[in-house]
Amino acid sequence: MTDNTTFDDLFDHQSEEQQRPRKKKRVWRKVLVVLLIIVILGVLGIGLYVWSVGRSFDKNANQLSDEQVFGESGGGKEGDGTNILLLGSDESMKDVDVNDSRGLRSDTIMVMHLPENGGNVQIMSIPRDTYVDIEGHGKSKINAALSYGGLPLAVSTVSDFIGTELDHVAIIDFEGFKALTDSLGGVTVNSEQAFEKNGYSFTKGENVLNGDEALTFVRERKQFQDGDFQRARNQQAFIRGLTNEMISADTLSNPKKIQDMVKNFAPYMYVDSGMDAKYISATAFNMRDVRPGDIEFFTAPVAGVGTSPDGQSIVNVDEDELKKVRDAFKNDTVADYVQNAPEAHL
């Protein structure tokens, strides 16, 4: 992703990531949707403030109707635990007609699993070029589902992929990323390398970043010999710094700071109608012992890259491993799967 990425680029079906066969390091590149996870889980330790935080989120976030998200069928429930689809955009969502998102392609696709027992949280990233069955359209890249049939088809396609229903859906854009960083008064990150970009200088070691600086830090790749892989490590460094800031005593003991954080961040989020104050409060109580270190990342099982019959570069699915993933999502045993999966990684 470059500094001049456009919304069309975001959903374009051609990308450098298509060319990369090394799935071991296929940490999904977009940090934006992870911010939603941190916001939701980061407030779990707030205690008495959680209901107020939920109400603030409810008031400021953009709620989508069940029909806009799930289509005529609405959301469903087959297995235990909760599954949340996370989609990311580096262009303002206010410029997108969510009622007619056909023609677009989703770049960032993650599924967050919240276990029934409130234990560790698992997040599975799905490469956007993963070659799957899309109802009514045959085999295609998973990100094409949004183009073919809007959010409802994207949701049903991911549901088919994980073998069970999705309970919630959330979308976020880059402006929310910047707003959250500034609401916290900046975030301290540890950079592995020194580099310069957009007039900003980053030193090796600790850097205190504001929203614009953080955005540059997590987006840059051309300054590094290993490009996207160093960018992924920088994004992970930022997530660690952001999480540490959110659970620090200065944040958790400051109700106004918490309220401002959610108030400033929520307007850049688009969520289904079920992700409201009541849901956030209930989730917070159920998962009150979860900490940032309990969030586990892994990648959907893939079997390298290939070429589709029409000549597109695609990511092939490891069908045998996918069966295990589907069983894990359906039976609320994703934590067990991550511990034993060959490609599980932070």
Across the chain, the runs of DSSP E, i.e. the strands, are 62-64, 82-89, 108-114, 121-125, 131-134, 138-141, 168-173, 187-191, 195-197, 200-202, 205-209, 269-272, 295-299, 302-307, 313-317
Total domains, the chain:
1
- Give the CATH number, domain containing residue 118: 3.40.630.190
101: closest CA among 2, 159, 169?
169
Q: How far apart are CA 302 and CA 299, in angstroms?
A: 8
Within-domain flag for 121: yes
Per-residue HEC secondary structure of 176-216 comes to HHHHHHHHCCCEEEEECCCEEECCEEECCEEEEECHHHHHH
Within-domain flag for 41: no
Evaluate whether 109 touches 125 at the Cβ level (below 8 Å). yes
Q: How far apart are CA 103 and CA 89, in angstroms?
A: 15
Per-residue pLDDT of the chain (346 residues; tens, 9 = 90+): 333 333 333 333 333 344 443 333 333 333 444 555 555 555 444 444 566 676 777 888 888 888 888 887 666 555 578 899 987 655 555 555 555 554 445 567 889 898 888 778 888 888 878 899 999 999 999 988 888 888 899 899 999 999 999 999 988 766 777 788 888 889 999 999 999 999 999 999 999 999 999 888 877 878 887 665 577 677 767 877 877 787 665 766 677 777 777 777 788 788 888 888 777 667 766 666 666 667 787 888 888 788 999 999 888 999 999 999 999 999 999 999 998 877 544 3
| Tally of CB atoms within 10 A around 192 | 12
Q: How far is CA 156 from CA 13, 139, 214, 320, in A?
A: 20, 14, 34, 21
Q: Which residues constitute the domain of residue 184? A: 50-345
Within-domain flag for 109: yes
Within-domain flag for 14: no
How many helices (H) and strands (E) in the chain?
A: 13, 15
Within-domain flag for 70: yes
